[in-house]
Chains A and B, each alone.
Chain A
């Protein structure tokens, strides 16, 4: 009896996800951008934006990807959506290999994974009414659906994300940033996807509006049974939203674990520095800040060995030659550092 209640009670707790099915699995994913140059614009080298990234996301779970700009987190998100073609590796979605899907097969699969974009000002067509923006994906996939039905659905979606009915006939420019992001979310929900990839959904918003959108995303996850891949640079936001967190640096995942372990006992020196750099809104706390020197190296010409060794405060000689593998250090806690064992 207890079991039944447990199953019904859709708990977001991290402990329960181990039993759930895997929705998305990414295995050794690589996305390299060619750099063209020279007389015939030949490919002269590659930017290794995503290099050997592996992770999996369980149904109903939120996986956060954090890292500084240029670490490849957005490229990873876009590759999973197949907006970019992976250079190597495998993407498994709901038990199916979608790495090489093309054409109509990919199109059919795409309705199960949608994206919420970063910039609510650039991601909505200024020439379309909000109603049309949300109608379009439904109409695309279900051309035989009656327009009255579709309109009903769209109005329900608008209300669900907190917009009034008359938003249907308005244009994107009539809304504030937070409201636009709600429109973007409604559009992503229109096809009842299983997975939503949210790429910096709140970084363009003010703090007070940011919390509204984060709360909305959390409510929708319960209502629509959604799985999120939440990409952001703000560690506190990602921790608030996610069950597990992957930390990316120069195209690699350097550490991945559930959010409590990441925050309480970060193993990788980069994670430690990242956490210590977040300013805490508590003036009394004296924090030991680890200030990293220099900038992130160019992904075109990444350092040999461990990608972080050039800025790592704990680097030893071996770090420049041995490339560390992402190893399971504790149950469910993986880190890529030769010093961690």
Chain B
């Protein structure tokens, strides 16, 4: 399914422009997502990669309008889904889209299901809300869904409680719930992180199958570069709330440009290669409060940092067609005179 066909002519299904999501800390607002723009075309699988704290989950919550009330809020930017501006919708209208047109799989299959309701009840809820199905119809549909996500003996599982299922099965239930209304877009936030590799393989296979049969676009948020390589068409690499690199999956893996992407790729041990020493990125992502206000946010951990990186804020610019990088090393427009000192 991972053919390298582009999606040039299609109008984007989801368009995010200049998204800024801030959290309030000690009375001040700090941007956790800082000016992120991207498109998702119908049937496209977009990967979002980055370390914890890079803002990838906050971004998905912003799209779903599920930010914790009173603490986090969207300061700037537009989120256009299917021609509708999501950030302007009130809760009632948003509820009609959430779960129906955009489905979401949450990270923790252990805690995202309600322990006191049966699987069937929890799955039927969205069907009931969006399609006004009767109880009996909904039950039939739920069994069908469970079967579709590969749960054996669905007619029994439908009456079971979450604790009676294994981790892999719970994640399947979460997927069934997300795809119940055949959404056009599925946001999967670390869908396989808590699972064993053999179960992960099952879930990825399942997602790919559903993407094809349901003509669904997927935003796959993960930190696992292996998963990205196997499933995505296009990849956003995020660091400290910003997109630092965007490219199609082959280009990104063959020719990573940003020093962060490059290090990330070389820091994972690989099965097919022998490496004496892994690359490592010194230090950690600066906290929201300590984020540099000027210059590149990666400067303190970057092995290729120059003097200018502290003062000139790099822009996300197209290095090659379809390949964007946020790094002064690849920017041509800034004053090059400073470079001669190097």
Task: List chain A positions with a Cβ less than 8 A from chain B.
Answer: 68-69, 176, 178, 206-212, 214-215, 218, 233-237, 239-241, 263, 273-284, 287, 289, 291-292, 294-295
Contact = CB atoms under 8 A, between A and B. Distances in A.
Interface of B: 2, 51-52, 152, 166-169, 196-202, 204-205, 223-230, 249-250, 253-254, 263-265, 267-272, 275, 277-282, 284
Contacts of B280: 208-209, 211-212, 215
A279 B229 contact: yes
Contacts of A281: 225-226, 228-229, 253, 265, 268, 270
Contact of A206 (B169, B196, B223, B263): B223
7 contacts: A176-B284, A207-B225, A212-B280, A237-B269, A280-B270, A281-B228, A284-B253
Given A68-B199, A206-B51, A281-B270, 19 more contacts: A206-B223, A212-B281, A212-B282, A235-B197, A239-B269, A240-B269, A275-B271, A277-B198, A277-B201, A278-B271, A281-B225, A281-B226, A281-B228, A281-B229, A283-B2, A284-B254, A289-B205, A291-B198, A292-B198
Contacts of A273: 198
A69 B166 CA distance: 11
A274 B197 contact: yes
B271 A263 contact: yes
B327 to A, nearest CB: 17
B227 A279 contact: yes
A295 B199 contact: yes
A295 B284 contact: no
Contact of B253 (A68, A209, A241, A283): A283
Contacts of A207: 51, 223, 225, 264, 267-268
A291 B202 contact: yes
A158 B200 CA distance: 38
B267 A208 contact: yes
B200 A277 contact: yes
A280 B269 contact: no
A171 B246 CA distance: 39
A283 B2 CA distance: 9
B229 A211 contact: no
Contact of B250 (A233, A278, A284): A284
A291 B201 contact: yes
B198 A208 contact: no
Contacts of B281: 208, 211-212
Contacts of B277: 215, 218
Contacts of B196: 68-69, 233
Contacts of A234: 197
Contact of A214 (B197, B249, B278): B278
Contact of B202 (A206, A274, A292): A292
A11 to B, nearest CB: 13
A211 B279 contact: yes
A214 B276 CA distance: 11
A208 B250 CA distance: 22
A66 B147 CA distance: 31
A211 B277 CA distance: 9
A208 B263 contact: yes
A236 B166 contact: no
B226 to A, nearest CB: 3
A94 to B, nearest CB: 29
A236 B205 contact: no
Q: Which of A210, A239, A283 has the most CB of B within 10 A?
A: A283
B173 to A, nearest CB: 14
B3 to A, nearest CB: 11
A178 B51 CA distance: 13
Interchain residue pairs A-B with the least CB separation, the first 4: A279-B226, A240-B269, A211-B278, A211-B267
A237 B267 CA distance: 11
B278 A294 contact: no
B168 A295 contact: yes
B264 A280 contact: no
Contact of B169 (A212, A233, A295): A295
Contacts of B229: 279-283
Contacts of A280: 226, 229-230, 270-272
Contacts of A289: 201, 205
Contact of B268 (A69, A211, A294): A211
B197 A233 contact: yes
A16 B224 CA distance: 35
Nearest to B152: A294
A237 B224 CA distance: 13
A289 B223 CA distance: 21
Contacts of B249: 283
Q: Which of B166, B198, B253, B271 has the most CB of A within 10 A?
A: B198
B45 to A, nearest CB: 12
Contacts of B2: 283
Contacts of B202: 291-292
Given A207-B223, A208-B280, A279-B226, A236 B269 contact: yes
A208 B270 CA distance: 14
A233 B278 CA distance: 19
Nearest to A216: B280
Contacts of B253: 281-284
B267 A236 contact: no
Given A208-B51, A292-B198, A236 B271 contact: yes
A68 B197 contact: yes
B268 A278 contact: no
A236 B227 contact: no
A149 B168 CA distance: 52
Nearest to A290: B201
Contacts of B282: 212
A279 B230 contact: yes
Given A274-B197, A284-B250, A239 B271 contact: yes
Contacts of A283: 2, 229-230, 249-250, 253
A202 B63 CA distance: 32
Nearest to A219: B277
Nearest to B231: A279
B195 to A, nearest CB: 9
Contacts of A215: 277-278, 280
A214 B223 contact: no
